[in-house]
Amino acid sequence: MRSISLHWTGHDYERVFPAYHFCISRPEDVLVHHTHDLRENMRDVRLDPERPYAPHTRGRNSWSIGLSVAAMEGATPSDFGAYPVTAAQLDALCRVAATLARFYGIDVAAVRTHAEAALDDGYFGAGDDQLRWDIARFQPSAAPLERAEATTAGDEFRRRIAGLLVRG
């Protein structure tokens, strides 16, 4: 494995999906669910897209691990709705990412949010709340969603994960 992508499901706190390899459910007393076999993404999935794999990030699924928090149903950048991502879920997301990065020898620079991939590929949600902005903002805000928020959020995740890697 070469990279890790961080997501939210866009559903409630309980629903988990095989589009990701691991999903973190429940808002406080979190559970980590293994939802898809990592080995199925240990290849160039474009060569045989009919074979099963976890399709978590458009065009970036080859040799990539998908992690997701079960949250954010009906969320917009200004209103995270009834199922906002919680601090406990974000902590668990960072711990799982650090564990996998250590095990697979993935550099922390290769841990990115789906929002960062959407920036790179031109489908980030700036101006359109329905497009991929996970995870670009940690708190709801009435301010327009800015592209720089995706990078700032990704940097914060990498800082936290790097700290966990140092502590072992």
**CATH for 159:** 3.40.80
Whether the pLDDT of residue 127 is over 80: the answer is no
Whether the pLDDT of residue 128 is over 80: the answer is no
Whether the pLDDT of residue 52 is over 80: the answer is yes
**Dihedral of alpha carbons 166, 163, 17, 149, sign:** negative
Residues of the domain holding 116:
3-167
Q: Give the tens place of pLDDT for each residue, 105-121.
A: 999 999 999 999 999 98
pTM score > 0.85 for this model?
yes
Question: How many domains does the chain fold into?
Answer: 1
Q: Give the tens place of pLDDT for each residue, 9-48.
A: 999 999 999 999 999 999 999 999 999 999 999 999 999 9
